[in-house]
Each structure stands twice: as C-alpha cells, then as structure tokens.
C-alpha cells in the first residue's frame, strides 16, 4: 500500500545517531490525518485515497457535504495513489507510524516568498562589467533579445520578477527517526518552506514497487 501524510514543518535541529555522529534533520509534525474519500477503479477509474489535515472553522456547503462522512472539517485535502484500498475506510486515521527509520520519502512544500527579485538573485546572472564606464550595470541583465529577428521576447525568457512561493518537491529524503507517540517524523536535510508551513510526505517513487 502506498500512502502519504500531510503535516507541518516545525523547524530544523540536530540529533545524535547510534554511532555517535550528528545529523541535521527537519522535524515534521506528521498528521494526524483522516481519510475523507476512498477512490476505487470501479467507481472512479483509479485507486487513490484523499486525506484531510488541519481544522477549519469555515467551510462552504458543498465542502461540508463532502466531509460529512469523515465527521470533520479540514483545511487541507491531499490525494495519494494507493493499492488495496479495500482495507481503508472513510474516517480512518493516518498517523506518523506509517513511516519507519530508513524509509525514503518525497517531500513537497511551498518555498518562502522573496518578493520581487532581480536577475542576479533570481537566475544567478553574473551581471555586467565593473569597469570601463559601466558603473550602473553591475546587476543588470544586459540585452534581452535581437531587434530584427525574432524582434520580440519569447515566453519564459529569464528576467526579473516574483521570487519564491513555488511548489517544490525534494526527492529521496531519508527518515532518520519516527516518534509515533508525538506524531513527529525527522527527515535528513532541509525541507522546502517556512516553519509552520504545510508539507506533504509520501513514499519515494524510486522505492515504490519494492514491497511498499
């Protein structure tokens, strides 16, 4: 069965491993989540599980109807591919215990917003020369395109603009430790997003099909 969990990034810290080495980890408050919908091949054409996370105080009437069977009001809903969905039921809890130390996971989150960024910070441009009368071109992009051909800027051209607030997935992160009682999952390395940001943790695609 392949199932993920929605959680909250609490921050980074260090832990000592059994061999005495120090590991930098990100602490994620994983769940608890509640199964809000089970999709089957017969009814929906594919197998998946939708889970809810975070208490919501205000929902629309359609949202309340959708979540009525789960007996809860959730701020975040996420869907995960799953097999053997017959073993899952609406209202069932999904907790951090679905992971164990040594598992490989893919973690998705929204990066920090950086506001308006220039080409040097946003795209790592080198900038212009520092001498020969170019004192006002050190962080400028230079020429953007030719005048005659093509005579325009192509879509996607690297320029200054809004920086951050992107959906980013870090693949193949290692689960260092799981505290099932407190619902904490410790992941090796950095997770995208600010502290208290919502993240999604799911089994790594590279590890699926190997008994997962």
Q: Are the CB atoms for 86 and 208 separated by under 8 Å?
A: no
Per-residue pLDDT, 212: 41
Whether pLDDT at 86 is above 90: no
CATH number of the domain residue 177 falls in: 2.40.30.10
Q: Is residue 121 part of a domain?
A: no
Q: Is residue 124 part of a domain?
A: no
Whether pLDDT at 106 is above 60: yes
- Cα(110)–Cα(87) distance, integer angstroms: 32
Q: Is residue 23 part of a domain?
A: yes
Whether pLDDT at 209 is above 60: no
Q: Is residue 188 part of a domain?
A: yes
What is the overall mean pLDDT for the chain? 86
Percent of the chain with pLDDT over 70: 96
- Number of domains within the chain: 1
Whether pLDDT at 170 is above 70: yes
Per-residue pLDDT, 2: 61
- What residues contact 138, with CB distance under 8 A and at least 6 apart? 127, 128, 130
Q: Is residue 190 part of a domain?
A: yes
Per-residue pLDDT, 107: 93
| Residue 211 banded pLDDT, cuts 50, 70, 90 | very low
Q: What is the pLDDT of residues 119-163, one digit of tens each?
A: 999 999 988 888 887 777 888 888 888 888 878 888 999 999 999
- What residues contact 184, with CB distance under 8 A and at least 6 apart? 10, 27, 28, 29, 30, 96, 178
Whether pLDDT at 199 is above 90: yes
Q: Is residue 128 part of a domain?
A: no
| Residue 72 banded pLDDT, cuts 50, 70, 90 | confident
Per-residue pLDDT, 208: 56
| Residue 32 banded pLDDT, cuts 50, 70, 90 | confident
Q: Is residue 134 part of a domain?
A: no
| Residue 167 banded pLDDT, cuts 50, 70, 90 | very high
Q: Phi, psi at residue 197, to the nearest 5°?
A: -80, 155
Q: Phi, psi at residue 172, to the nearest 5°?
A: 55, 45
- Strand, helix or coil at 98? helix
Per-residue pLDDT, 98: 86
Q: Where are the beta strands (DSSP E) in 44-166?
A: 48-55, 74-81, 93-94, 104-110, 115-117, 161-163
Averaged pLDDT for residues 179-188:
90
- Cα(126)–Cα(57) distance, integer angstroms: 49
CA atoms within 13 A on the CB side of 109: 24
Q: Phi, psi at residue 85, to the nearest 5°?
A: -70, -10
Per-residue pLDDT, 207: 59
Instruction: Give the structural domain span for 199.
Output: 5-114+162-207
Q: Is residue 203 part of a domain?
A: yes
Whether pLDDT at 85 is above 80: no
């Amino acid at each position: 069965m392949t199932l993920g969990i929605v959680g909250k990034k609490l921050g980074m810290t260090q832990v000592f491993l059994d061999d005495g080495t120090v590991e930098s980890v990100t602490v994620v408050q994983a769940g608890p989540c509640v199964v809000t919908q089970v999709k089957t091949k017969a009814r929906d054409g594919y197998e998946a599980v939708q889970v809810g996370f975070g208490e919501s105080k205000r929902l629309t009437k359609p949202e309340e109807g959708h979540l009525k069977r789960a007996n809860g009001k959730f701020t975040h809903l996420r869907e995960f591919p799953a097999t053997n969905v017959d073993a899952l039921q609406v209202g069932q809890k999904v907790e951090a215990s679905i992971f164990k130390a040594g598992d490989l996971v893919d973690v998705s989150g929204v990066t920090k917003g950086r506001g308006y960024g220039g080409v040097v910070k946003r795209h790592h441009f080198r900038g212009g020369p520092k001498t020969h009368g170019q004192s006002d071109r050190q962080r400028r992009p230079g020429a953007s395109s030719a005048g005659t051909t093509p005579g325009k800027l192509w879509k996607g051209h690297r320029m200054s603009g809004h920086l951050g607030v992107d959906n980013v997935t870090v693949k193949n992160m290692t689960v260092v430790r799981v505290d099932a009682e407190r619902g904490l999952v410790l992941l090796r390395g950095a997770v995208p997003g600010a502290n208290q940001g919502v993240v999604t943790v799911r089994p790594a695609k590279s590890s699926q099909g190997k008994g997962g």
